[in-house]
Structure 1
Amino acid sequence: MAQVSGQRTGAAGNVTLAMVARRAGVSPQTVSNAINAPDLLRPDTLARVQQAIDALGYRPHRAAQTLRTRSSKLIGYGIQPVQPGTSTPVMDGFLHALSQTADESGHRILLFAAPSGQKLLESYQELLDTCSVDGFVLSGTTHGDPRQDWLAQRSIPFVAFGRIWSGRQIGDWVDVDGAAGTDTAVEHLVGQGHKKIVFLGWPRGSGVGDDRAAGWKRAMQRHGLPVRGRRAESIDDVEQARAAVGSLLDAGATAVVTASDTLAVGCYRALADRGLAPGEDVAVTGFDDTPAAHLLTPPLTSVAQPLEAAGRECVRLLLARIRTPSREPERPLLTPELIVRPSTARRATGTEN
């Protein structure tokens, strides 16, 4: 079997696979196995080789490794367009976690532009034609998303960060249980003495938004609290959210569960318009625990997504699919965490109607 050469530039000169083998007291083939098929080695042998690799600063030569294994160690990730000036802290956080996890497994994330509409699949085809990627990580899955079917028909490995919201389930995906997040928010508010808990969400038809709305409704019904007339909708825009939540506040809501931190900021502004204070007069919860949640006054209680776990799971599932194309699909649903801050202070006894 051809060996994979590597080098480290510095005072010690080039470091080769043979040098690592001599230091570890093993054969060059054992070093190659440690890099490319570690499961073949005993734990003590693998540890000894890894110590030698670390001590010498050895790095496999990627081009030679690609020729030998027919693996580029590249994972494609399409960046979808956003409106100018729009912040995407959640997906930025996920991409950071994904990149770090891929790096730890010896892979790199290859970013490419994935425009919406008819040109979406063309961007994937172009990348396949020009780069030897091992597979794809998808995000921003929506109703009628064509990518999973397209990739599956071509036997191209992929994993999605986000469920397939319509049609038949295809392939592996990792998602966050949004319903569990808003359910937990309602539980917290009920524990704080609230009963008039309303929901400010996105327009119906969004898979993620509908999921978060379902968790609010489920928890409300479990506590025997009414949901009719206690829901408002807005696109993910501060000023539109500010207008949308107004009628619920005027009707006497004491707590607002929102589908995003952006909507929660709109709720803060609507409260200010009425001379009310978040956390004192009306409790507010957000979702995604973006940097804005820490900066608001008062700081916002928000549902944090486990982005690092999502990145790890995406890489794990994609590599498993590459190794064993016929394996049964896995679709883990990760549980988010409610980060409690002063925007949901306890309701004063006797003030709930």
Structure 2
Amino acid sequence: MPRSSNASSSKSGSVTLAMVAVRAGVSPQTVSNAINSPGMLRPETLARVRRVVDEMGYRPSRAAQALRTRSSKLIGYGIQSAPLSSPVLDWFLHALSHSAEVAGYRILLFTSALGDTPLKSYEELLGRHDVDGIVLSGTERGDLRQKWLTQKGVPFVAFGRLWSGRQIGDWVDVDGASGTEAAVDHLVSQGHTKIGFLGWERGTSGAGDDRAAGWARAMRRHGLTVRGARGQSDNGIDPARIAVRPLLEGGATAIIAASDMLALGCYQALRERGAVPGRDVAVVGFDNAAGTDLLSPPLTSIAQPLDIVGAQCIRMLLARIAAPELPPQRLLLAPSLVVRDSSSRTAQFSPS
């Protein structure tokens, strides 16, 4: 009678592996072997343990199985709680998820806090879930996550370089400077000599400064001036519309924007002046976001190889998980210039 009462209470409560071991008269390791490596036990021991498991309604937790295999098959990825979604990071997440699934893993999404406590969300994730590793994105100057994860012994890979100080850990990034250099070369081949650059404020974005550096390097290589040809804007179409005006008033016949969103602001500014993008002033964006080919005119843009970035991030992370002592891996991928009507017309005149 006491036996059935005990079994009933165990089913209604939280049954642990240790409770099963006591009931079956074996060690907790034997119970674990019965569940995970049954071939290690004698048939009579295995039968007894399994009978008790069934009687008590015990179900091994995912965390308990992870302790045995040292693998949860989960990879953490933090998405920023920002009001504006980034098309680039959305597509990167799609590519990352696909590559993880092919490798037998799942992406565990969590909200990555902004502001003064960027590590709090990562600490909470590691406290609540067993993840095999972390993928970072949105790297920036003074980023604390790489050093913190290294100190914690958590495998990670970053989409993006550290833009200041010593490089830490594995990363995959896109060479934005080579992309804007290619854009300048293309515009020069179309006859443009006054090529402006519209980016974000200096020092606020490592990627943005990298893209500006490529533009400046190519301009000097072609013997063209950069003085007064760089504009700064907040992220958004309307700020870009205002920020590009001085470049147009200064005689720019072509504008390279640090993002497709900034390029859309250039489109609006040109139309306000009675000018036509592509016909009167060439415009080049960055990211080749969905829908850029449907604009009027279709936007020339620099495309990031995000499918490759996602696949390489998973490859590097799994290599780091398997062999933590490996030297750091860093991969810089070249983007490609997708030429469309916004920059394909040969320059023959000054802007309106």
Partner of 2:234: 235
Deviation at 1:63, TM superposition (A): 7.6
Question: What secondary structure, in the 3-state scheme, does the structure 1 residue paired with 2:76 have?
Answer: strand
Q: In the aligned structure 2, how far is the partner of 1:299 from the partner of 1:162?
A: 28
Q: In the aligned structure 1, how far is the partner of 2:256 from the partner of 2:93?
A: 27
Partner of 1:66: 66
Deviation at 1:67, TM superposition (A): 5.0
Opposite residue 128 of structure 2, the aligned amino acid is T
Q: In the aligned structure 2, how far is the partner of 1:267 from the partner of 1:165?
A: 28
* Distance of aligned partners of 1:135 and 1:251 in 2 relative to their CA distance in 1, 3 Å threshold: same
Q: In the aligned structure 1, how far is the partner of 2:350 from the partner of 2:273?
A: 19
Aligned length: 295
Describe how 1:326-341 pairs up with structure 2 within 5 A.
Answer: 326-341=325-340
Partner of 1:32: none
* Distance of aligned partners of 1:321 and 1:248 in 2 relative to their CA distance in 1, 3 Å threshold: same
Q: In the aligned structure 2, how far is the partner of 1:332 from the partner of 1:274?
A: 43
TM-score of the superposition, structure 2-length normalised? 0.80
Partner of 2:121: 123
Contact preservation (8 Å) 1:194, 1:352: no
The superposition leaves residues 84-137 of structure 1 with CA deviations (integer Å, 9 ceiling, x where unpaired) of xx2321100000000000000011100011111333212111111111100100
* Distance of aligned partners of 1:3 and 1:165 in 2 relative to their CA distance in 1, 3 Å threshold: farther
Deviation at 1:237, TM superposition (A): 1.1
Question: What secondary structure, in the 3-state scheme, does the structure 2 residue paired with 1:344 have?
Answer: coil
Q: Does 1:200 align with 2:206?
A: no
Partner of 1:308: 307
Contact preservation (8 Å) 1:144, 1:166: yes
**RMSD (Å) for aligned C-alpha atoms:** 2.0
Opposite residue 288 of structure 2, the aligned amino acid is D
Identity %: 61
Opposite residue 71 of structure 2, the aligned amino acid is S
Contact preservation (8 Å) 1:232, 1:248: yes
Runs of 4+ in 1 over 6 A off after TM superposition: 1-5, 61-65
Opposite residue 296 of structure 1, the aligned amino acid is L
* Distance of aligned partners of 1:62 and 1:329 in 2 relative to their CA distance in 1, 3 Å threshold: same
Question: What secondary structure, in the 3-state scheme, does the structure 1 residue paired with 2:119 have?
Answer: helix
* Distance of aligned partners of 1:210 and 1:2 in 2 relative to their CA distance in 1, 3 Å threshold: same
Q: In the aligned structure 1, how far is the partner of 2:63 from the partner of 2:170?
A: 29
Opposite residue 335 of structure 1, the aligned amino acid is A
Contact preservation (8 Å) 1:301, 1:344: yes
Partner of 1:107: 105
Deviation at 1:295, TM superposition (A): 2.6
Q: In the aligned structure 2, how far is the partner of 1:162 from the partner of 1:155?
A: 20
Q: Which of 1 and 2 has greater Rg? A: 2
Q: In the aligned structure 1, how far is the partner of 2:224 from the partner of 2:33?
A: 69
Contact preservation (8 Å) 2:192, 2:347: no
Partner of 1:220: 219
* Distance of aligned partners of 1:316 and 1:4 in 2 relative to their CA distance in 1, 3 Å threshold: farther
TM-score of the superposition, structure 1-length normalised? 0.80
